[in-house]
Amino acid sequence: MTAAREPIGVIGTGYVGLVTAVGFAELGSEVYCVDIDHAKIELLSRGEVPIYEPGLAELIARNGERLHFSTSLDEAVAGARLLFVSVGTPPTYAGDADLSAVLAVVEAMPASAEHALVMKSTVPCGTGRSIVRMLVEAGKGDLAYVSCPEFLKEGSALADFTHPDRVVVGDDGDGWAADAVSELYAPLGAPLVRTDVASAEMIKLASNAFLATKISFINEIANVCEETGANVLEVARGVGLDQRIGPKFLSAGIGYGGSCFSKDVSALKLLAANSGYHFQLLSAVTEVNELQKRRVLSKLTKRFDALAGRRIGLLGLAFKPNTDDMRGASSLVLAARLSAEGAQVRAFDPIATDEARKIMPELDCADSVEGAIAGADAIVLVTEWPQFLALDWAAVAVAMSGNVVIDGRNALDGRAVAAAGLDYEGIGIG
Ligand code: UGA
């Protein structure tokens, strides 16, 4: 936390960029943030935060003097040697990662032996090597290149920055930039994986693909539990105590959402296919997840002859709590399928309603959780926001027309729900 900390540039001020910027500013670095989005930079310069992430606004305010925002690369290049790239790499129509934003940054960089591009954006394995080739061809071969993938989770991003399980730094060069990046992370005391660029890139993709596989696996176990009378919560507890497996990411539910898992599973699968290898397991991971998002439908149709005209309250829309991110949210599939069946869907989310409306303008959103529950034949817990877990189930039973409660996250106290006279069903609780 001294003035001697290395200054950095951060190109791209989305989740990863902002958290990286604020995290390093908190550790004492001057941070030069760059984004092509003028409106966003203006907002940030005024101290406003364009995304919802717990603690982020406070930390931006606290580090206001060390954080500099601009739409031009010049200030960052003048002020810092290490330029972290954290622009989006969304999926293309073909399912590969769209690298156009990354390549625009590469193109915009000046030739320099004093600077390094530090890749935080998730890119297919082999991207670093291609970028280095492009830099050489453009007469900018002296620029150093480091891969430093990010593992933060939305909703707990700042804690993840401060307490990473590991820091991965990959380089194929003479090492000055990788040394400097490693030094920046040193105060966090995390295990450091120094490796080559391709392996660093693959560590990121393999980590997300493995986590997605773990979720699809427990979801299939949950589905079998329903057929056999076992309880997936008990099963996950017993399985997770095996240290080779571990207890995390064994929560069965209505499928994983978010911008990363589906994108990275697909990117890894296509990367393998483009290299001549058919990654069979990942096809199943994706398919299981898509079916899992629809599983609530079959639970509802078991109870109602037809869904047409039934009023269904959705509790939560965001892909997980503590975020307003709607990308890949299971609620999108659920709401669309229910509406297609003719059900009247009314949803409530404490934070994500505005984002949800951008994607589903026709969705009927209530202003309060009570509004989503009132008169409902069934309610479905979609996102496990704390306020839903604390509901007064006796009052819910009075407010509903019907009595069906589907817990899509196994997060409610099933006994308390049933004690209020409601018909409770979780996922995999046979
Ligand atoms: C994920 C990874 O966890 C991060 O390490 C990674 O950095 C990030 O993607 C990324 O590549 O940017 P994130 O998508 O923010 O993070 O959120 P997660 O907490 O991983 O949750 C993803 C989805 O899986 C959520 O819909 C969540 O509800 C679901 N999930 C998670 C389950 O259904 N079961 C679980 O046991 C855990």
Pocket test for ligand 1, best of 89, 153, 163 (most atoms within 8 A of CB): 153
Q: How many other C-beta atoms can be found within 10 angstroms of the C-beta atom of residue 189?
A: 10
pLDDT at 388 (0 to 100): 98
Q: How far is the CA of 334 from the centre of ligand 1 (A)?
A: 19
Nearest by Cα to 248 from 207, 308, 283: 207
Q: How far apart are CA 192 and CA 184, in angstroms?
A: 12
Beta strands at 404-407 and 378-381: parallel, antiparallel or unpaired: parallel
With the CA atoms of 132, 167, 96 and 334 taken in that order, what torsion angle do they form, in degrees rounded to the nearest 10?
-160
State residue 92's pLDDT score. Answer: 86
Hey, what are 225's tokens? 């539990």
Integer Cα distance of 252 and 249 in angstroms: 8
Q: Is the CB of 164 under 6 A from ligand 1?
A: no
Which pLDDT score is estimated for 305?
84
Residues in the chain: 430
Whether the CB of 348 sits within 6 Å of ligand 1? no
Radius of gyration of the chain (CA): 23
Nearest alpha carbon to residue 322 among 92, 140, 69, 51: 51
The answer to whether residues 346 and 372 touch, using CB atoms and an 8 Å cutoff, is yes
Containing H/E element for 347? strand 344-348
Which distant-in-sequence residues (6+ apart) come within 8 Å of 392 by Cβ? Answer: none
Per DSSP, the three-state class of 351 is coil
Return d(Cα 166, Cα 164) in angstroms, integer.
5
The backbone torsions φ and ψ at residue 195, rounded to the nearest 5 degrees and listed phi first, read -150, -170
Atom of ligand 1 nearest to the CA of 329: 26
Contact in structure between 147 and 122 (CB atoms under 8 Å) = no
- As to burial, measured by CB atoms within 10 angstroms (0-12 exposed, 13-18 middle, 19+ buried), residue 175 is middle
pTM of the model: 0.95
Cβ-based neighbour number of residue 275 at 10 Å: 11
- Output the six-digit token pair for 57: 């606004």
pLDDT at 2: 46
Q: Which ligand 1 atom is at minimum distance from the Cα of 153? A: 15
* Alpha-carbon gap, residue 402 to 311, rounded angstroms: 9
Q: What is the pLDDT of residue 95?
A: 75
Distance CA 270, CA 315 (A): 35
The whole-angstrom separation of Cα 97 and Cα 90 is 6
Instruction: Pick out the chain residues at pLDDT < 50.
Output: 1-2
Instruction: Determine the Cα–Cα distance for residues 316 and 191; give it in Å rounded to an integer.
Output: 36
pLDDT score, position 93: 84
Please tell me the predicted confidence (pLDDT) of residue 8. Answer: 98
Pinpoint the alpha helices (H) of 166-252: 176-185, 197-228, 232-240
The pLDDT score that the predictor gives to residue 230 is 98
Cα distances from 202 to residues 119, 179, 280, 292, in angstroms, run: 13, 20, 17, 27
Q: What pLDDT is recorded for position 1? A: 44
Q: Is 337 in the pocket of ligand 1 (CB under 6 A)?
A: no
CA 325 to ligand 1: nearest atom: 15
pLDDT at 126: 94
What was the pLDDT predicted at 173?
87
Residues 168-218 have pLDDT tens digits of 999 998 999 999 999 999 999 999 999 999 999 999 999 999 999 999 999
